[in-house]
C-alpha cells in the first residue's frame, strides 16, 4: 500500500519515527516541515517539505494547505499516519476526503487533553492512539499505547 | 560541554539570555554550545549556531555531558534516548513563546517521574545547573511495540480487504 507519513520536524517527528517498524514493507512518502531532517527521512521514501505553520498564522496555514493538496493529489496515498501537528492535521483531512484511511497518534506532549489537531482528527481517524491512559479513558474510540518515553 | 537547545521553530530568548547571564555571573564550570534558532538575542558568553543539520546536532548531543533546553518532546526524547541529564525550562504562552502552556504540563510530568530536571522561572536556573552535574535520569524503557502492533494489524487488515475485492 502507499502510505503517507507526516509530522512537523522536532518532537512530533521523533515520536513518529519510533514506530517506523509498522510501515515496513509498504511504499512510503514523507511530509515534514524542515530541510534539516530530510536526509533522515529519505531512507523511507520520497520526502516533501512544507513551511512551518500554526493556528496563529492563518495565511501560512492556507499556503501549506495548498502545498498539501498538490502533494496528496499527486501521490494519492491509501493511508496517512501522523503524530501532528498542524501539517499532520491538514494532511489527514485531505487524505480523508480523497479516500485514505487515517492513523493518528496524539503527541505525548498532550498531557491533560488532546491536541487541537487531535480533537479534529478524532472524528475521521480509523485508528487513534493516545499516550496517556487518562486520555484513553476521557475520549471514546481512542486506544492507549505509549510510543515515546 | 553543556549543549543548550531550544528547537528551531520559534525563538526562546528568555532561556538563552538567562543562560548567558548565568555564565557571565559565575560561570557554569563547563563550556557551553547552543542551537538558538532565530533568536534576536545573541549570547556573548558561549558559542552558538542558529540551526544545526541533524547529523551535526546528533554529534553535539553525543559529545555533551548534559543538555539544557525548552520542554519540547523532541528534546526530552533525545535526552532520554542518549541517556543525557536534561534540564528544561518550559516555554510560556504569556510570553508568546508557544501557542499554549503544554510545555509546563510536560515539564512537571517528566520531572515528577525523575526523567528530567526543570525550572519554571529564570532565577532558578543557576542553582539547577549545579544539580544537573550529578543528576542521573531515571532509565526509561521505550516500548513502542504495542502501538506498532496495533497499526501493523490495521494495515494488514486493509491489505487483506483490498486483496479480496
pLDDT of B56 over the 70 cut: yes
Lookup: cell for A17: 519515527
Lowest mean pLDDT among A25-29, B6-10, B119-123: B6-10
A5-63 pLDDT, tens per residue?
999 998 999 999 999 999 999 999 999 999 989 999 999 999 999 998 778 888 988 99
A76-92 pLDDT, tens per residue?
999 999 999 999 999 99
Q: Find the mean pLDDT for residues B9-20.
A: 95
Rg (CA), chain A: 14
Q: What Cα–Cα distance (Å) separates residue B2 from each residue in B6, B107, B147? A: 13, 19, 34
Please state whether the peptide bond connecting residue A85 to the residue before it is cis, i.e. omega within 30 degrees of 0: yes
Q: Count residue pairs from A and B with Cβ separation < 8 A.
A: 117
Rounded Cα distance, A86 and A115, in Å: 10
Backbone angles phi, psi at B65, to 5 degrees: -80, -30
pLDDT of B58 over the 90 cut: yes
Q: Is A60 on the interface with B (CB under 8 A)?
A: no
Instruction: Name every residue whose Cβ is closer than 8 Å to that of residue B59 and which is 6 or more positions away in sequence.
Output: none
Rounded Cα distance, B15 and A52, in Å: 22
The shortest C-alpha distance from B145 to chain A (Å) reads: 8
Cα torsion A115, A36, A81, B150 to 10°: value is -90
Q: Tell whether A149 is covered by a domain.
A: no
User: How many independent structural domains does chain A possess?
Assistant: 1
Q: Find the mean pLDDT for residues A64-85.
A: 95
Q: Tell whether A136 is covered by a domain.
A: yes
Under 8 Å between Cβ of A147 and A14: no
Tell me what pLDDT residue B28 has: 85
Q: Tell whether A129 is covered by a domain.
A: yes
Lookup: cell for A79: 493511508
Please state whether the peptide bond connecting residue B155 to the residue before it is cis, i.e. omega within 30 degrees of 0: no
The domain segmentation of chain B, as residue ranges, is 2-140
CB contact under 8 A, B77 and A149: yes
Match 553543556 to its residue by C-alpha cell: B2
Averaged pLDDT score across all residues of chain B: 93
Tell me what pLDDT residue B89 has: 98
Give the residue on A whose Cα is nearest the Cα of B139: A149
Q: Which residues of A touch B109 (CB under 8 A)?
A: 111
Q: Is B150 on the interface with A (CB under 8 A)?
A: yes
Look at residues B120, B118, B147, B122 and name the one whose alpha carbon lies nearest to residue B132: B118
Match 500554526 to its residue by C-alpha cell: A54
CB contact under 8 A, B54 and A36: yes
Tell me what pLDDT residue A66 has: 94
Lookup: cell for B47: 558559542
B68-82 pLDDT, tens per residue?
999 999 999 999 989
Q: How confident is the model at residue B141 (pLDDT cuts 50, 70, 90)?
A: low
**CB-CB: which of A23, A52, A143 is closest to B9?**
A52
pLDDT of B4 over the 90 cut: yes
CATH of the domain at A14: 3.40.50.2000
pLDDT of B92 over the 90 cut: yes
Match 499556503 to its residue by C-alpha cell: A63
In eight-state DSSP terms, residue A46 is E
pLDDT of B142 over the 80 cut: no
Tell me what pLDDT residue B138 has: 87
Q: Which ipTM did the prediction report? A: 0.95
Rounded Cα distance, A16 and A22, in Å: 10
Chain B window 78-107: which residues touch A at a Cβ cutoff of 8 Å? 78, 80, 99, 102-103, 105-106
Q: What is the pTM of this model?
A: 0.88
CB atoms within 10 A of CB A141: 11
Q: Is B116 on the interface with A (CB under 8 A)?
A: no
Rounded Cα distance, A71 and A94, in Å: 10
CB atoms within 10 A of CB A109: 24
B2-140 has which CATH code?
3.40.50.2000
Tell me what pLDDT residue A149 has: 72
Q: Which residues of B touch A147 (CB under 8 A)?
A: 144, 147
Q: Domain of residue A112: give its range.
A: 2-144
CB contact under 8 A, B73 and A11: yes
pLDDT of B26 over the 90 cut: no
Amino acid at each position: 500500500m502507499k502510505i503517507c507519513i507526516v509530522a512537523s520536524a522536532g518532537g512530533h517527528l521523533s515520536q513518529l519515527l519510533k514506530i517506523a517498524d509498522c510501515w515496513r514493507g509498504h511504499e512510503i512518502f514523507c511530509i515534514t516541515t524542515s530541510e534539516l531532517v530530510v536526509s533522515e527521512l529519505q531512507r523511507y521514501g520520497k520526502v516533501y517539505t512544507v513551511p512551518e505553520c500554526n493556528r496563529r498564522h492563518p495565511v501560512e496555514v492556507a499556503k501549506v494547505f495548498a502545498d498539501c493538496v498538490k502533494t496528496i493529489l499527486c501521490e494519492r496515498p491509501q493511508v496517512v499516519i501522523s503524530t501532528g501537528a498542524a501539517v499532520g492535521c491538514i494532511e489527514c483531512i485531505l487524505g480523508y476526503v480523497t479516500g485514505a484511511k487515517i492513523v493518528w497518534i496524539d503527541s505525548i506532549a498532550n498531557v491533560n487533553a488532546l491536541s487541537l489537531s487531535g480533537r479534529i482528527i478524532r472524528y475521521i481517524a480509523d485508528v487513534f492512539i493516545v499516550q496517556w491512559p487518562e486520555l484513553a479513558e476521557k475520549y471514546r474510540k481512542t486506544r492507549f499505547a505509549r510510543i515515546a518515553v | 560541554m553543556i549543549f543548550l537547545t531550544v528547537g528551531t521553530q520559534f525563538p526562546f530568548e528568555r532561556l538563552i539570555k538567562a543562560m548567558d547571564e548565568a555564565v557571565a555571573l559565575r560561570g557554569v564550570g563547563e563550556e557551553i554550545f547552543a542551537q538558538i534558532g532565530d533568536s534576536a538575542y545573541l549570547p556573548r558568553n558561549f558559542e552558538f549556531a542558529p540551526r544545526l543539520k541533524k547529523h551535526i546536532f546528533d554529534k553535539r548531543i553525543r559529545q555533551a555531558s548534559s543538555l539544557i533546553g525548552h520542554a519540547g518532546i523532541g528534546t526530552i526524547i533525545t535526552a532520554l534516548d542518549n541517556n543525557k541529564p536534561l534540564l528544561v525550562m518550559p516555554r510560556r504562552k504569556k510570553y508568546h513563546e508557544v501557542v499554549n502552556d503544554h510545555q509546563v504540563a510536560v515539564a512537571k510530568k517528566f520531572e515528577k517521574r525523575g526523567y528530567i530536571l526543570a525550572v519554571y522561572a529564570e532565577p532558578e536556573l543557576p542553582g539547577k545547573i549545579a544539580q544537573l552535574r550529578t543528576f542521573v535520569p531515571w532509565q526509561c524503557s521505550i516500548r513502542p511495540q504495542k502501538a506498532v502492533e496495533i497499526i501493523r494489524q490495521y494495515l494488514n487488515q486493509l491489505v487483506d480487504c483490498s486483496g479480496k475485492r
